[in-house]
Structure 1
Amino acid sequence: MIKAVIFDFDGVLVESAHIKTKAFGELFSRWPDKADEGVAFHLKNMGISRYVKFKYFYENIISERYSEEIGLKLGSEFSDIVLDEIKMAPFVKGAETFLDNFHSKYSFYIASGTPDEELCEIASHKGINKYFDGIFGSSLTKAEIIKNILGTESLKNNMVIYVGDAASDKEAAEGMGVHFVLRVTEENRDLRSKCSYEISDLTELDGKIKEIGE
């Protein structure tokens, strides 16, 4: 029986993944001959912390020294680009209805690569924080978040579903032995053949939970 659902945020609850892709392109545009490579790395590693991507870009793409100070500066610029736009972004179809209809039946959590404070601010602005037993950002890896949820709730692995849209989501879920459901988008169609369960939006999630084993 499924007792908990963990959601990635961008591209799963809110149609905001493209906003962050555009922001990486804008940040990296100061290195015109390297920007496309930086965006490509982001697209291959969606769902992980932006700071990991900044570090990789500096050390492996432009071959410059990276520091915490540089990361904080880029992070601040990135937030300035995306924050208001994500607050205004539409929900994934069915998200609000699913959360409202089923929050008393399942424990809900968010596991995101977005910084914790920013994630909580967005969730509060969009009025969905009330539905979640925990909202977790990039201060922990997604595998660590899942592990903590399993321990806190005393849940067996097969009682938990993780809904994500990136390879990093799939790897975290499968690494911790919980069910993974792929929210299919134009950017992740290459993952479809590797996933047992998929949905096009959250109007299909209730049926998918029943298929997995309510």
Structure 2
Amino acid sequence: MARELRALFFDFDGVIVDSIQPKTEAFRLLFQGYPEHIVKSVADYHRLHGGISRVDKIIHAHTNFLGKPLTKEEVKEWSRRYSELVVQKVIDVSWIAGAKEFLHKAKENGLKIFVISGTPEDELKYILQQRGITDLFQEQLGSPVRKPEHIRWLLEKYQLNPVDCVFIGDALTDYDAAAETGLAFIGIQGEVDFPEKTTVLPDCTGLQEALDDIFL
């Protein structure tokens, strides 16, 4: 049976909206007051590990860079402070080139579109609502649930065959989530060295052509 594109699974930051730099700067601000080499290590870790939750990044920074593991309450407080620094900035940032037009066209064409992010789910839904784009996505899913778990749940709920679905992301965690669940993958911009032969685009302007190459 021929493959037929039925559903698209999108990461959010760096794929739909241009929010990587504001989020990196928020991590720098969160750790200001610590030595610059610590701040740089935190910012670099954030940039190179897109797609995982801020909680995991905060825990990693304190455990591995500062040598001071946090209690659960401290993790919660650091996460709250990060949210205060970043939410409005993500609401205000520009679209990734081509993303807005592509999403509206894909919805018009009847494709199922899901967004799966490392952002806390309540915060993700708030940002989408404030940007006025909630209705573009049939499901909006975030942390703490891992992306492969979200994908499996969506495949089952919507009775989708993985071969008819594509994940569009900008991080190795996105690539790994697609590989783990049997989805095709397209990379968008970022600083990641994806495995050889991965389709990688600078933005979303060529996304339709890349999908056509997979399904024609």
Partner of 1:79: 83
Counterpart Cα distance in 1 of 2:18 and 2:48: 18
Counterpart Cα distance in 2 of 1:37 and 1:88: 27
Higher alpha-carbon deviation: 8-17 or 27-36: 27-36
Does 1:128 pair with 2:133?
Answer: yes
Partner of 1:101: 105
Counterpart Cα distance in 1 of 2:197 and 2:78: 34
SS in 1 for 2:206: helix
Does 1:153 pair with 2:155?
Answer: no
* TM-score between the two structures when normalised by the length of structure 2: 0.93
Does 1:34 pair with 2:44?
Answer: no
Partner of 1:4: 7
Counterpart Cα distance in 2 of 1:38 and 1:131: 33
Counterpart Cα distance in 2 of 1:130 and 1:99: 11
Deviation string, structure 1 residues 143-191 (Cα, Å, up to 9, x no partner): 1111111111111111110000011111111111101100023x23x22
2:20–2:47 CA contact under 8 A, matched in 1: no
* Residue 199 of structure 1: how far off its partner (Å): 1.9
Counterpart Cα distance in 1 of 2:132 and 2:170: 22
Partner of 1:201: 203
Counterpart Cα distance in 2 of 1:66 and 1:7: 32
* Residue 195 of structure 1: how far off its partner (Å): 4.7
Partner of 2:49: 45
Counterpart Cα distance in 1 of 2:49 and 2:164: 27
SS in 1 for 2:132: coil
* Residue 197 of structure 1: how far off its partner (Å): 1.4
Structure 2: segments with no counterpart, 5+ residues: none
Does 1:163 pair with 2:168?
Answer: yes
* Residue 44 of structure 1: how far off its partner (Å): 2.2
* Residue 45 of structure 1: how far off its partner (Å): 1.2
Counterpart Cα distance in 2 of 1:137 and 1:172: 14
* Residue 77 of structure 1: how far off its partner (Å): 0.9
Deviation string, structure 1 residues 115-163 (Cα, Å, up to 9, x no partner): 1111001111111110111000112101111111111111111111000
* Residue 43 of structure 1: how far off its partner (Å): 2.0
SS in 2 for 1:194: coil
* Residue 84 of structure 1: how far off its partner (Å): 0.9
Number of equivalences: 211
Counterpart Cα distance in 1 of 2:14 and 2:29: 20
Counterpart Cα distance in 2 of 1:65 and 1:180: 35
Q: Which amino acid aligns with 1:75?
A: S
Q: Which amino acid aligns with 2:201?
A: I
RMSD (CA atoms): 1.3
Counterpart Cα distance in 2 of 1:168 and 1:68: 24
Q: What is the identity percentage for the equivalent residue pairs of Structure 1 and Structure 2?
A: 29
